[in-house]
């Protein structure tokens, strides 16, 4: 793909991708001095396919193609440790290529590039990988793709906070293999505190009511980072056996409903959110918040999704969040980057996530009495 400049029908595969909007296509046409009466994507296809793509235009389209999966998704693991052990001792050998050889019984459709190592920097340990994935069932524009993942380790008293960041299923799978090996190594070295469990934020760690409270705790202003504006999406599962126990406001609304996705504006005013008596009968799976950027050196806004993504095994589904959309005003793009802003946002949300998990999770005794 790096050695071709497609034109004509060869462009169809790239232009037909759903991530390319009408605005993307028309932007390129306008830059060529072409104004169309009908701006519909289907109408502009033939025009664009009759033109020769410049290297800059091809790069623009290709980068948009890459962006559709390159959104960082964040999860966290808390490892209980002996606080007297120095951080450098947690920087153990982690050979990802050997780990994959041991874990995989088949040849995967991806490969890890280079030989990543654990590196200490500013009182943190970092482990970064890059994958190259290849698929023969996709069109030429999507056949080869690159994905990243990372582990970040911070020592806080008697806890090792591990932040897992990934951009695709393959990169999450590989970073999970690395993390499993790391946890086993710590256990073998007796670095994990005896009698304590490694914690992940799971769907089953909350009652229905507490899960609502946990999600909604993100509907706030984060000082010098984000200003909350509205809820734009809600994804729920009804959770009741007998309709007679439902509050009157839910009886007709949830009748014969297996799952429900709501999209709109200011959904924080919806009865699912505002009426606490409804929360016991609803499993909240995911929610999206819209924020305005605050004091980050730029103007703009973002939409962040908080979710338990595993639909098949909900009770052990692990909480994650990702910035599904981040828009920075054009005048500020020379001064800041999307990645630097994303990193600051992720750091603030990660701290809030851990602090409020301790506040809203059910204790172990209560969890054993809660049906799966």
* Of 148, 174, 200, the domain-final residue: 200
Q: Which residues contact 8 (CB under 8 A, 6 or more apart)?
A: 49, 50
* Of 67, 84, 102, the domain-final residue: 67
Same domain for 100 and 132, yes or no, is: yes
Same domain for 188 and 299, yes or no, is: no
* Of 170, 200, 230, the domain-final residue: 200
Tokens of 24: 């993307």
The domain tally of the chain equals 3
Same domain for 94 and 182, yes or no, is: yes
195 secondary structure, DSSP code: T
Same domain for 120 and 214, yes or no, is: no
Residues facing residue 160 across a β-bridge? 79, 155
Same domain for 297 and 218, yes or no, is: yes
Same domain for 44 and 130, yes or no, is: no
pTM: 0.80
Tens-digit pLDDT string for the chain (372 aa): 455 666 666 666 666 654 566 777 777 777 778 777 766 666 676 777 777 777 777 777 666 655 555 689 999 999 999 999 999 999 999 999 999 999 998 888 899 999 999 999 989 999 999 999 886 545 555 567 889 999 999 999 999 999 999 998 899 999 999 999 999 999 999 999 998 999 999 999 999 999 999 999 999 999 999 999 999 999 999 998 877 788 888 888 888 888 899 999 999 999 889 999 999 999 999 999 999 999 999 999 999 999 999 988 899 999 999 998 999 998 998 889 988 999 999 999 999 999 999 999 998 656 655 555
Give 35: exposed, middle or buried? Use CB within 10 Å, 0-12, 13-18, 19+.
exposed
Residue-number span of the structural domain to which 31 is assigned: 8-67
Same domain for 247 and 315, yes or no, is: yes
Same domain for 212 and 321, yes or no, is: yes
**Do the domain assignments include residue 235?**
yes
Same domain for 286 and 237, yes or no, is: yes
Listed in order, strand segments (DSSP E) in 168-245 are 199-200, 226-238
**Do the domain assignments include residue 159?**
yes
**Do the domain assignments include residue 3?**
no
Same domain for 196 and 209, yes or no, is: no
How many CA within 13 A on the CB side of residue 16? 12
Same domain for 191 and 227, yes or no, is: no
């Amino acid at each position: 793909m790096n050695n071709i400049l497609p034109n004509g029908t060869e462009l169809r595969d790239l232009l037909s991708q759903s991530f390319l909007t009408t605005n993307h296509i028309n932007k390129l046409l306008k830059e060529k001095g072409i104004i169309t009466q009908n701006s519909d994507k289907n109408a502009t296809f033939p025009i664009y396919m009759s033109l020769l793509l410049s290297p800059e235009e091809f790069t623009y389209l290709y980068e948009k193609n890459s962006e559709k999966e390159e959104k960082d998704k964040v999860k966290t693991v808390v490892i209980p440790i002996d606080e007297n052990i120095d951080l450098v001792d947690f920087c153990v050998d982690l050979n990802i290529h050997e780990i994959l050889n041991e874990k995989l019984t088949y040849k995967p459709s991806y490969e890890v590039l280079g030989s990543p190592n654990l590196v200490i920097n500013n009182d943190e340990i970092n482990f970064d990988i890059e994958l190259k994935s290849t698929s023969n069932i996709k069109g030429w524009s999507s056949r080869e793709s690159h994905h990243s993942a990372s582990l970040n380790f911070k020592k806080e008293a008697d806890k090792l906070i591990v932040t897992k960041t990934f951009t695709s299923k393959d990169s999450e799978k590989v970073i999970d293999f690395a993390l499993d090996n790391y946890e086993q190594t710590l256990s073998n070295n007796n670095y994990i505190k005896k009698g304590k469990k490694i914690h992940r934020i799971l769907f089953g760690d909350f009652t229905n009511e507490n899960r609502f409270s946990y999600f909604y705790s993100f509907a706030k202003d984060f000082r010098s980072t984000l200003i909350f504006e509205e809820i734009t999406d809600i994804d729920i599962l009804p959770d009741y056996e007998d309709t007679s126990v439902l509050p009157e406001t839910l009886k007709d609304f949830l009748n014969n409903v297996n799952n429900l996705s709501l999209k709109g504006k200011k959904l924080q005013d919806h009865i699912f959110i505002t009426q606490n008596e409804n929360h016991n009968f609803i499993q909240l799976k995911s929610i999206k918040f819209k924020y305005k950027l605050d004091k980050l050196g730029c103007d703009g806004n973002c939409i962040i999704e908080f979710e338990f993504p595993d639909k098949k095994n909900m009770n052990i589904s692990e909480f994650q969040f990702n910035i599904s959309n981040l828009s920075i005003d054009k005048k500020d793009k020379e001064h800041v980057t999307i990645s630097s802003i994303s990193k600051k946002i992720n750091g603030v949300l990660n701290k809030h996530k851990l602090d409020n998990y301790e506040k809203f999770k059910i204790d172990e005794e209560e969890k054993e009495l809660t049906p799966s």
